[in-house]
Amino acid sequence: MTLEFSRVTLPALWTVDQAKVHLRITGTAHDADIAQKLATAQEAILSYLNIAVDPTWDAATAPAAVTHAIHLLTAYLYEDRGDGSQPDVWPKIYALLAAYRDPTVA
């Protein structure tokens, strides 16, 4: 079953090699895990942005704040092993993406 959390599907905004540089990882032993975490992070960030996602974004044109949020979440997902030792990354992500979200009225 395919779940779509955003109104658009974008190409990968970061590569595994770029994520490995950010994570300071050399070698290829963890590439599959990093790729999965990177895809999950991009999906989560785009889902959070919802209608603010521009369908024309690609690796060269996506806003730096959006791609950096993907990197932050990728690192968090990679490092977090469910033991609660990682600080919550979402406040940083919310701050980065605030300008791209439509205001919501409750």
* Residue 2, pLDDT score: 44
Q: What is the pTM of this model?
A: 0.83
Query: Residue 40 falls within a domain, yes or no?
Result: yes
In a domain, 72, yes or no: yes
DSSP class of residue 54 equals -
For residue 38, the enclosing domain spans: 17-100
- Counting the structural domains of the chain, the total is 1
In a domain, 10, yes or no: no
- What distance in Å separates the CA atoms of residue 77 and residue 102, rounded to the nearest whole number? 26
Distance CA 31, CA 44 (A): 20
Residue 2 lies in a domain: no
pLDDT one-digit tens code per residue, 9-23: 788 888 899 999 999
**Residue 31, pLDDT above cutoff 90:** yes
Query: pLDDT digits over 64-87, tens only?
Result: 999 999 999 999 999 987 777 888
Residue 73 lies in a domain: yes
> What pLDDT score was predicted for residue 26?
93
Has residue 89 been placed in a domain? yes
